[in-house]
A = this chain, B = another copy of it.
Amino acid sequence: MSSDPVAFGKAIADETRQRIMRLLCCRELCVSDLVTELRDISQPTVSHHLQILKQAGLVDTRREGKQMYYTLRQEAIANCCRVIVREYAPDVDLVDAGASPQTT
């Protein structure tokens, strides 16, 4: 919920967590679904990363019987990005120049 850029950075600063986020994007999955997809990561590790994402406010949870379903909080993610741009890229207009690859 915080939209704190440091906390947001820490939350996304891990390859496994971003794999989880990618899997959760636009669909709801339970822990065992995620463990099945991330076949090289143990269940406790998946749960651990989910707790970190939850703590950062980037996922929502819903219990259904024995399973715990997770979804991405897209609006929260977008909001963190808005804060970052407002703080560190205030001169950039997000509307245009979206796809222009202006990088060294």
Contact = CB atoms under 8 A, between A and B. Distances in A.
Given A13-B10, A82-B99, A104-B57, A26 B90 contact: yes
Contacts of A25: 87-88, 90
Contacts of A75: 89, 92, 97, 102-103
Interface residues of A, number: 45
Max chain B CB contacts within 10 Å: which of A26, A94, A102?
A94
Tell me the number of copies of this protein.
2
A29 interface: no
A84 to B, nearest CB: 6
A103 B76 contact: yes
Interface of A: 1, 3, 5-6, 8-15, 18, 21-22, 25-26, 57, 60, 72, 74-79, 81-85, 87-92, 94-95, 97-99, 102-104
Contacts of A26: 90-91
Contacts of A57: 103-104
Contacts of A11: 9
